Structure 1
Amino acid sequence: MQDSMKGLARFTGLLARAALWVAGTGLVLMTIFIAAQVFWRYILNDSLTWSEPASVMIMGWFIFLGAAVGIREGYHLSFDILLYVLPDRVKSWLHTLSDFAVAAFGGGMIWFGSSLAYKTAGNMVPSLGISGAFDFIPIVGGGVLVVLFSAERVLRRIAGLPTARFGDAPLEE
């Protein structure tokens, strides 16, 4: 099982790295779009109507992709004070319970994000000329990664492989 888990870890590691590249690129693009809007508005006395909605849409991508990678790498929020006094076996069970709760939240992101995307698919974002569903697709994509990365954490624990925790070095693929 450890060999198959190492293969899964390589795959999810590549997926996490790609998600971080997309998120980082989105952050840079958003910064460029906002800077261009400021230049156009205050220097050229004109306005780019597409820069604000495009920036908000891009922000959704880098927030949800970055959050999912944070879950894989153990940087998500947690309340660990009780874990300092519990035996390792109990800690493992509580971490697994936490991973299931996070996966359930990711499932909610998929379900409700899909519902929102479906309900707004017929609407158009006027300044971009695209479907309103594009505003909610990052929630679905982030939810898929949250579920996948949470499942990986549980499976790693079952296989006896380490999982990342806040402050640890990133997982090796």
Structure 2
Amino acid sequence: MTVFIAAQVFWRYVLNDSIQWTEPASVMIMGWFIFLGAAVGIREGYHLSFDVVLYVVPDRIKLLMHSISDAVVGGFGFGMIWFGWELAAKTAGNKLPSLGISGAFDFIPIVGGGVLIVLFSLERLARRAAGLPTARFGETELED
């Protein structure tokens, strides 16, 4: 993405010309960064949470609340898959003018990120059920 934008700036301001496909290609790559980054945030336990209550409840309740959170996040990931697929299917017949590819490519990052979010949420639930640690940050495990 950075190379595409740098090339665009060079072509525009040094060569006094323009590459038409760099901006939409960069936006598409940014979509991949955003949705894959969100999935990694889920995997590592860095997603947004409201954890004030977690400071005052017992460890078992914390684990239950983390599990509920992971289930809700997994449901959101499933929604990303479902609706992202619908968007991709509805735009598959369109052609992106500057890139010459199907409009579905704009929505594939949503589906890919959703698949990873569902998988990582299921992994966190399975690890928690097995008594294994699920995050590097912000979550305590039962101490028996």
TM-score range, shorter chain: over 0.9
Unaligned 5+ runs, structure 1:
1-29, 169-173
User: 2-side partners of 1:129 and 1:66: how far apart?
Assistant: 27
CA apart distance, 1:166: 3.1
**Residue aligning to 1:78:** 49
**Matching residue's letter, 1:145:** L
Alignment deviations for residues 104-135 of structure 1 (CA, whole Å, 9 cap, x no partner): 10001000000000000000011111000000
Map 1:1-173 onto structure 2 (within 5 A).
Answer: 30-166=1-137
CA apart distance, 1:60: 0.6
CA apart distance, 1:62: 1.1
Q: Percent identity?
A: 78
Unaligned 5+ runs, structure 2:
140-144
Runs of 4+ that moved beyond 4 A: none
Kindly report the root-mean-square deviation, in angstroms, between the aligned alpha carbons of the 2 structures: 1.1
User: 2-side partners of 1:147 and 1:49: how far apart?
Assistant: 36
What TM-score does the superposition give when structure 1 sets the normalisation length?
Answer: 0.78
How many residue pairs get aligned? The number is 139
What TM-score does the superposition give when structure 2 sets the normalisation length?
Answer: 0.94
User: 2-side partners of 1:160 and 1:105: how far apart?
Assistant: 25
User: 1-side partners of 2:29 and 2:138: how far apart?
Assistant: 28
Report which of the two has the higher share of helix: 1
CA apart distance, 1:66: 1.1
User: 1-side partners of 2:138 and 2:53: how far apart?
Assistant: 18
CA apart distance, 1:167: 5.7
Alignment deviations for residues 53-107 of structure 1 (CA, whole Å, 9 cap, x no partner): 0000111111101110110101111111110011000000000000000001000
Q: Which has the larger radius of gyration?
A: 2
